[in-house]
Amino acid sequence: MNNFVLLVVVILIAILIVAAAIGIAKLVAPRSYNPQKGEAYECGIPTRGKSWMQFKVGYYLFAILFLMFDVETVFLFAWAVVVQDLGMYGLFSVLFFLLILVLGLAYAWKKGALEWK
Amino acid sequence: MFDFGVVTNWIHTQLTSVMPEGLAVFLECVAIGVCLLLLYVIIAIIMIYMERKVCAAFQCRLGPQRVGPWGSVQVFCDVFKMLTKEIIIIRHADKFLYNLAPFIVILASVMAFAYIPINRGMEILDFNVGILFFMAASSIGVVGILLAGWSSNNKFSLIGAMRSGAQMISYELSIGLSILTIVVLTDTMQFSEIVMRQADGWFIFKGHIPALIAFIIYLIAGNAEVNRGPFDLPEAESELTAGYHTEYSGMHFGLFYVAEFVNLFIVSSIAATVFLGGWMPLHIPGLDGFNAVMDAIPGFIWFFAKALFVVWLLMWIKWTFPRLRIDQILTLEWKYLVPIGLLNLLLMVIVVVFGLHF
């Protein structure tokens, strides 16, 4: 059968699992109202300040690094499929590609982007 | 090996002989959907039961044993209990994103789950770029986790989600590189084809040194990818209550929980498929009698045995090692696993180009 038809079936099943579970829970579960229930749970004391705030920049730095490396991994996948046919040529062409990739990592390392401060 | 495609073809011909083509395809889609749903839920329940029992064994306890024989009905009871719990949405949460997050997490999990080749002809999705598509599908999950943490408007959730995001995207690189190593060896990305190529030897044996290194990197990265084991600091109970799903109650929480356990199974089964031969039996060259006995065991039993072995290995790791800090986790990934992975890839290319593999 066509794979893309099945992909649609799979996505529908995923949505069905969540919708059914939450729907049944909403039908069956008891409901009660209490103003305390609507508060965020932070060790039981009232929350101070908003949680939607500026956050440590280190996480975003790793996200940017990831973006660079992940795109390069996608390029490597296309090459990996044909490397057996390419033989020596494939080895040397990817050697330069990997060299540039490693230079990028080395630069980030030297600049201290991989340190957690 | 028994080809399950025979069964599906037989069903297709039987259906088309009594009804028009379109209706038959529709009915088959419904049947596949029902099978997928049942398999997903059953695997989740088996994984939760196994986690409890294995965890208990490592801690010299007995685990659940009161409800049903050996406590086997305990997980079903927990599911029903969770269904009868109230779903609370806190007042300051972003309601839309808060409700959307479980959908995305489960969507990523189910889409990745559909790729697993259980037996010959018994996989649901089988694209020719299967591995790429699988990695794309499974990496959607991190979006759901970030949404869950951000929309809860809770500082514990936010910290947990940020840690989880940084960790999951980092370790995805290592998963990519280690699977890439095997793609170099196979020159195909289709899961069924990868399993077929292992008929005369699993890739962990065929690719000897680089494949072994890739397998170890994959186990470490896969463990981190599902936020478990020594890498479970996104939901570190002792410091963040429950991490990104602190504010989720009842079935909302249950969905995150189920997705986490099924993701563990997915990671293990991909390890079993790519490195350990999927549903291919163990063959030792020269021992014809032994090989004949191994051939008699059905493929899906081989697959589940290998996948559950890897699951057990990951559980062993989880209950043995202490939790890492966030800086240790990122150092391990970026300063050790990525350079080793790149070098290992190069080693594999050299092995393949000079024909040094078996």
B270 or B2, greater pLDDT: B270
On the question of pLDDT at A87 being above 70, the answer is yes
CA pair distance B134, B112, nearest whole angstrom: 6
Please tell me which of the candidates B25, B187, B250 has its beta carbon nearest to residue A25.
B250
pLDDT in tens, A88-116: 887 888 888 888 888 888 888 888 777 77
Flag whether B214 is in a domain: yes
CB–CB contact B29 A6 (8 Å): yes
Q: How many CB pairs under 8 A join A and B?
A: 208
Number of domains in chain B: 1
ipTM (interface pTM): 0.86
Closest among B164, B170, B171 to B149, alpha carbons compared: B164
What are the backbone dihedrals phi and psi of residue B301, each rounded to the nearest 5 degrees, phi first?
-70, -40
At residue B217, the pLDDT reads: 92
At residue B8, the pLDDT reads: 79
Please tell me which of the candidates B40, B109, B173 has its beta carbon nearest to residue A73.
B173
Flag whether B19 is in a domain: no
Residue B265: pLDDT band (50, 70, 90) is very high
Min Cα separation B53/chain A (Å) = 26
Structure tokens at B45: 């329940």
Min Cα separation A45/chain B (Å) = 12
CB atoms within 10 A of CB B117: 28
On the question of pLDDT at B292 being above 70, the answer is yes
A8, A52, A66: which to substitute to probe chain B, counting the most B Cβ within 10 Å?
A: A66
CB atoms within 10 A of CB B255: 25
Flag whether B224 is in a domain: yes
Surface of B (42-101) touching A: CB under 8 A: 82-88, 90-92
Flag whether B148 is in a domain: yes
Flag whether B29 is in a domain: no
Could you give the 3-state DSSP secondary structure of residue A48? Answer: coil
Flag whether B205 is in a domain: yes
A70 neighbourhood in chain B, CB within 8 Å: 169, 172-173, 176
Flag whether B187 is in a domain: yes
Flag whether B177 is in a domain: yes
Min Cα separation B321/chain A (Å) = 22
CA pair distance A97, B227, nearest whole angstrom: 32
Percent of chain A residues past pLDDT 70, beyond the cut? 98
CA angle A98, A104, A108 (to 5 degrees): 145
Residue B150: pLDDT band (50, 70, 90) is confident
B158 neighbourhood in chain A, CB within 8 Å: 51, 55
Min Cα separation B235/chain A (Å) = 14
On the question of pLDDT at A1 being above 70, the answer is no
Percent of chain B residues past pLDDT 90, beyond the cut? 4
pLDDT in tens, A61-78: 888 888 888 888 888 888
Surface of B (1-40) touching A: CB under 8 A: 25, 28-29, 32-33, 36-37, 40
Min Cα separation A44/chain B (Å) = 11
Tell me the angle at which helices B74-83 and B21-58 cross, rounded to the nearest 10 degrees: 110
At residue A71, the pLDDT reads: 83
CB–CB contact B86 A21 (8 Å): no
Q: DSSP for B7-71?
A: HHHHHHHHHHHHS-HHHHHHHHHHHHHHHHHHHHHHHHHHHHHHHHHHHHHHTT---S-SSSGGG
Q: Tell me which residue range forms the domain holding B274.
A: 83-353
